[in-house]
Structure 1
C-alpha cells in the first residue's frame, strides 16, 4: 500500500478515525508524516496529542451543558505545577513526579489502552531470556505466596515457598 499523500513510498503509518459511526482510514509514509508534523492528513488538523487527549479525557462528559457543575479541587503536581487537565490537553507530563501525582487517574487509562494490563513487562532478549523468565516466575510466585499467607492457606503457601527455593537454586547453579 502506498502513501496517500505522495503516492510514491510505502505507507508505514496507519490511522483509523471513527466519528459518529463513520470510519476513515489514513495510510501515510514516515517522510510525509514528518513533513506534516504530528498532524494526520485529511483530518482537519487533528493531532496525535488530540488523540491522546481523547483517551485521557474518557471520564469527562461529552456534552458540557448536561454536566453537573464541578466543585472538585484540581490536583496539581508539587514539582512542576502541572494539572491533570493540562496533561490531558497536551498529552505528556511535565516531570517524573507527575506519574505519582496522577497515578489514580492513570490506572483506568492504562487499563483501557492496554486491554486491562497495567504492569509493564517489556521485551526479553533471547540470549538472556531463560534467566529473566525464571526470575519473572519467581516474582509471580512470591506474589502468590504473599496472597496465600494473607488468606491463611499455609499448606499451599509452603508448597509455593518450596517451588521458589527450587527455582532459586537452579538459577544459582547457572551463574
Structure 2
C-alpha cells in the first residue's frame, strides 16, 4: 500500500465504518505524525533470551527470574531446560533447584520428603565420577573442543559397557 498523501510506502492503516460506508486511510510514518497519528514503535532490538527473562520477571516475579537463570553446578542443567523437558540431569538438581522444585513436588505428591525405597549403594552427588565426566563433556562441547568431547564420550560408553 502507498501513502495517500505522498506516495511513499504506508505503515499506518486506519479503517472505519460509518452508516454502512467503509472508509480507509493509508499513511506513511511522517504523514501520520503530521496528521496527529503516531505510527507503531518498532520492536526492540534485543536477544530473545533477554526478552523472555524480562517478561518472566515482570509477570511472575523476581524469584522465577532467578530460577530461570539458575543451573546445576554438577551437570550444567538449567532450570528452564528442566521446565521445558520435564527431566532432571542429576541428583544434585533437587538441591540446586529446591526453590522451584519444592512447590511442584508438594503439588504433585502432597509432600516434599521422600519416604520410599533408596538404592543400596549411594555416592554423594558431588563425588560421582560419571556426573563429573558428563559435566566435563558438556563443557567440552560448549567450548567446541570435539577431540576431548569424543574422548569423554568414549569413557562414558566404556563405563556403561563395564556395568
- TM-score normalised per structure 2: 0.30
Kindly indicate whether structure 1 or structure 2 has the higher relative contact order, using CA contacts under 8 Å at least 6 residues apart: 2
Q: Which has the larger radius of gyration?
A: 2
What TM-score, normalized to structure 1? 0.28
